[in-house]
Amino acid sequence: MVKIRADLIIHNGTILTIDDEDSVIENGAIAIESDRIVAIGEEDEIRIKFSATKNINARGGIILPGLINTHTHLAMSIFRGIADDMPLDEWLNKNIFPLEDEFINKNSAYWGSLLSCAEMILSGTTTFCDMYFFEKETGRAAEKIGIRGIIGEGIVAIGESDKAIWNNKKSLTIELLNKFKKSELISIGVEPHSPYTCSADVLRESKQFAKENKLLYIIHLAETKKEFTDFERERGMTSVEYLDTLSVLDENTLSAHCVWMSKDDIKVLKARHVKIAHCPQSNMKLGSGIAPVAKFLKNGVTVGLGTDGAASNNTLDMFSEMKSAALLAKVANLDPCVVSSRETLRIATIEGAKALGKEQEMGSLEIGKKADLIVIDMDKPHLMPVYDYYSHLVYSAKGSDVKTSVINGEIVMENRKLKNIDMSEMMKKVKMISKKISKKDKA
């Protein structure tokens, strides 16, 4: 029998498909043609039908859909560790905003984003969802290294010049749409920063623009107690209710954080089919609070996982984030049964894909989906012995256990070596940028 030629076969691994049945295939193999999965099954079956130009031996490791980081500010990695251990207000207004004004430009946005993309691929992320400035540079960095992502200009537009700022951001968004129109990896979002940093008009008009262009609308929501109490005091409603009065909440809205929620807020999010990007480590580090994830899940609200920026985390390692998500929910509820390892792994993969509206394309390993997958090296003392794959991936594995990564059918990392960038050049550039920042910091 003539075999079908595939571009790539990954074999000799245990496949966790994360499909609807959570099917697991021992001694599995996956055949990839161009950017898609064309076959998945036991290695013997796949070998009878397919041969491939390139074969990757998973050596008994786990083959998993790539992790989906639903909330990032990639270029902020140039500020990693610069302002820790302080309240969000002070962190943002006295540290991050002035630093951004002075040091975020095209050059730092590109190298900071590339640094983050490298860190993400090296720790198992294959798709991100970013909000920041100079996003064209972020898109360029992502395409260079070969990672998939949603990018969008962060919109801070309140007060007298709100409309002018929005108009500028709108044209930047149109530029992004044109620049990445044919991109296999990059798509665009409309991203007002929060209900309190954008005027009602800008929140509404940007939603209208997102609708017209069928784009995801991404916003920070109910992150801090201050936001919650300010809205109650000033408007007599929660920030969720406020956004609902502006009619910007729907199935194409992704809200990051959602920590401070009234009972009715959860009902509103559920009724409007709003998706949530849960960022437990950032919420812990900034002392913001604990998002009621177990309640979201119980109510059928779609929850993805996000690291937030490297300045408030301080890494982009989704394995570490998964562990935090599972543990934090247990301690918050004084109940070890909530947010199980199985649920957590779904949150970091297929549920994240749903949060981004991309579940038809990614989030699980199934025929016809994009070939975005990672191979975990299980031959490590901290992953031995193996009784439960889900348990190991959430509670024991680290980002550095990811050995190989395939995104859009392309091997972007093999045996922990990134294929598309010169790491030493990137490290040098980031060091140069950080030297300027630390001079200023000491002045």
Minimal distance, residue 193 CB to Zn ion, in Å: 8
Minimal distance, residue 46 CB to Zn ion, in Å: 41
How far does Cα 77 stand from its chain's mean position?
A: 14
Minimal distance, residue 189 CB to Zn ion, in Å: 13
Q: Cα separation of 324 and 318, whole Å?
A: 10
Minimal distance, residue 396 CB to Zn ion, in Å: 28
Minimal distance, residue 257 CB to Zn ion, in Å: 7
What are the residues binding Zn ion (CB under 5 A)?
Answer: 308
Minimal distance, residue 427 CB to Zn ion, in Å: 25
Q: Which is nearer to Zn ion, 100 or 343 (CB)?
A: 100
Q: Which is nearer to Zn ion, 4 or 86 (CB)?
A: 86
Strands 410-414, 417-418: pairing kind: antiparallel
Minimal distance, residue 383 CB to Zn ion, in Å: 31
Q: Cα separation of 248 and 114, whole Å?
A: 32
Q: Which is nearer to Zn ion, 61 or 352 (CB)?
A: 352
Minimal distance, residue 131 CB to Zn ion, in Å: 7
Minimal distance, residue 37 CB to Zn ion, in Å: 32
Q: Which is nearer to Zn ion, 43 or 308 (CB)?
A: 308
Residue 176: is it exposed, middle or buried by C-beta count within 10 angstroms (0-12/13-18/19+)? buried
Residue nearest to Zn ion according to CB distances in the complex: 308
Task: Let me know the angle formed at the C-alpha of 20 by 377 and 331, rounded to the nearest 5 degrees.
Answer: 70
Q: Which of 96, 124, 78 is nearest to 286 (CA)?
A: 96
- Give the helix, strand, coil percentages of the chain, each rounded to 5: 45, 25, 30
Task: Let me know the angle formed at the C-alpha of 284 by 281 and 288, rounded to the nearest 5 degrees.
Answer: 125
Q: Which is nearer to Zn ion, 73 or 354 (CB)?
A: 73
Minimal distance, residue 377 CB to Zn ion, in Å: 31
Q: Which is nearer to Zn ion, 305 or 406 (CB)?
A: 305
- Measured over the CA atoms of residue 252, residue 253, residue 254 and residue 259, the dihedral's sign is negative
Q: Which is nearer to Zn ion, 8 or 75 (CB)?
A: 75
Beta strands in 237-361 (DSSP E): 253-257, 275-278, 303-305
Q: Which is nearer to Zn ion, 135 or 308 (CB)?
A: 308
Q: Which is nearer to Zn ion, 137 or 308 (CB)?
A: 308
Kindly list the distances between the CA atom of residue 386 and the CA atoms of 257, 300, 383, 394, 406, in Å, as whole numbers in the listed order: 33, 31, 7, 13, 25
Residue 167: is it exposed, middle or buried by C-beta count within 10 angstroms (0-12/13-18/19+)? middle
Return the DSSP state at 223: -
**Look-up of token digits 């000491």:** 442
Q: Which is nearer to Zn ion, 139 or 154 (CB)?
A: 154
Residues constituting the chain: 443
Quick one: CA torsion of 387, 391, 395, 397, rounded to 10 degrees?
70
Q: Cα separation of 329 and 255, whole Å?
A: 19
Kindly list the distances between the CA atom of residue 77 and the CA atoms of 32, 309, 399, in Å, as whole numbers in the listed order: 33, 7, 17
